[in-house]
Amino acid sequence: MAINGSFRGLRGKKLSLAIAAICSALLIWTWEETTLLINSLPPPNSFEMLPSPVILRSPMHHLKHEEKQQYEHGYTDTNSIDVILTEQIDPTAGIQSVISEISTSLITKKVDESSVNMPIEKKGCKYEKGKWVADMRRPLYSGFECKQWLSDMWACRLMQREDFSYESYRWQPFDCEIPEFDGSEFLRRMRGKTIALVGDSLGRQQFQSLICMITGGKHFVLVEDVGIEYGLVKAPGAVRPDGWAYRFSETGTTILYYWSATLCELERLNRSDPATNYAMHLDRPVPFLTNFIHRFDVLVLNTGHHWNRGKMRANRWEMFVGGKPNADRKLSEIGNAKNLTIRCVVKWADLQISQNPELKVFFRTISPRHFLNGDWNSGGSCNNTKPLLRGSEVLQEGSMDAVVESAVKGSKVKLLDITALSGLRDEGHIARDSLTAAKGVQDCLHWCLPGVPDTWNEILCAQL
């Protein structure tokens, strides 16, 4: 009896231990399955959260300067900004797999919502916002050596000017770098393509600047004059042709310029009368564009400085709309007329891009004038020769040329915004060294070359 009783007691103890072991296992399993829920609740008398998988945004003052810039401009480095903290969680295998799943879910959700943790391109560079910085590697070509392409009236090295510090500056955008211009590399990239600049004399300056930048100012024997292909030949009695076109034989790259002060069609009202007036068709692009757009790969447009009453009278231009003389008094105002033409040209160019997606069209904003104490014909001057007295930075949002900015908005035509950055460079004009300075007329509109228009081309090339 004693032995049987002892046996039963022992068996009872074993059974109790087994039951206790099973209960403990169940409790442990339950604890593992509910740990995340428990961890999500605040402990008694505390609002402090227990350790859980979280995503922390590093404070700005902990970031390096480069990282701050990336953060401010919409780019996130997942190695330095987003940190998944799981090291304080119990490293039990089962719970770790749950944490892994939740962390993956959080990251996936974050990617889906903002693509923060994926390699992404930086937002488009705002080339118009930045600063002028001294750069002794400038200029990009020599005014002495670019005689083949550069007009004497814009080559300030060939004039009486003695201070050339304006040549040694480059434009530095705040949120990106402008690639260093290389003429040979540019021609390689533009192999077989045609780049057309159409606009007023500031467009011609940009054209000559680009040719000089490509050649380095030196004589290129493998450049062919192909102006005749575009009707760019000097007419009898004309001072110069309406434009020029040059083809770099090695790559087949063509650079051309066509003079059009207003970008709209000008039509002689009486073809037999040399002194006839011209119909200025505000709603029609200049025929050169419509005739040759199919041959262009890149088109740069500009207008602005001929939209004034003095030019209208001197050139005998009469406003036409819809093929008839304009009868709208509001449209007779110069600003409204210019606005209409720019919008019509942009709308037409936008349609051309839709039909040929490979075509790239830019509308350059107006180049600033710096006349003081009068205008070009009333004693105005711009005698400053010290760079950056007006400041060195452009911080504003939006273009100073609101007409062009508004016209291209919503279209596929790109804005080449050079107005504000050029406005800081009043010392870069030809000024009293112009050919007309002896007559008391300073040129505070056109620029010395090499000079500011080289920057316009650097920004253009960066956007191609």
Decide: 427 and 385 in contact? Cβ < 8 Å.
yes
Domain borders along the chain are 15-114, 130-463
Residue 68 has pLDDT above 90, yes or no: no
User: What is the pLDDT at residue 377?
Assistant: 84
Class of domain 130-463 as given by CATH: alpha beta
- Average pLDDT, stretch 321-336? 96
Decide: 306 and 299 in contact? Cβ < 8 Å.
no
Residue 387: band (very low, low, confident or very high) from pLDDT cuts 50, 70, 90: very high
Decide: 340 and 299 in contact? Cβ < 8 Å.
no
Q: In the predicted model, what is the mean pLDDT of the chain?
A: 80
Task: Give residue-wise pLDDT tens across range 218-254.
Answer: 877 799 999 999 999 998 888 889 999 999 999 999 9
User: What is the pLDDT at residue 24?
Assistant: 54
Q: Residue 316 corresponds to which tokens in the numbers above?
A: 């005998």
User: What is the pLDDT at residue 111?
Assistant: 34
**Residue 83 CB neighbour total at 10 angstroms:** 12
Of 79-88, 180-189, 197-206, minimum mean pLDDT range: 79-88
Our CA dihedral for 372, 378, 379, 385, rounded to 10 degrees, sits at 40
Q: Which residue has the higher pLDDT, 8 or 219?
A: 219
> What distance in Å separates the CA atoms of residue 10 and residue 333, rounded to the nearest whole number?
112
Residue 319 has pLDDT above 90, yes or no: yes
Residue 431 has pLDDT above 80, yes or no: yes
- Average pLDDT, stretch 12-21? 53
- Average pLDDT, stretch 384-388? 95
> What distance in Å separates the CA atoms of residue 89 and residue 35, rounded to the nearest whole number?
10
Q: Residue 142 corresponds to which tokens in the numbers above?
A: 């020599």
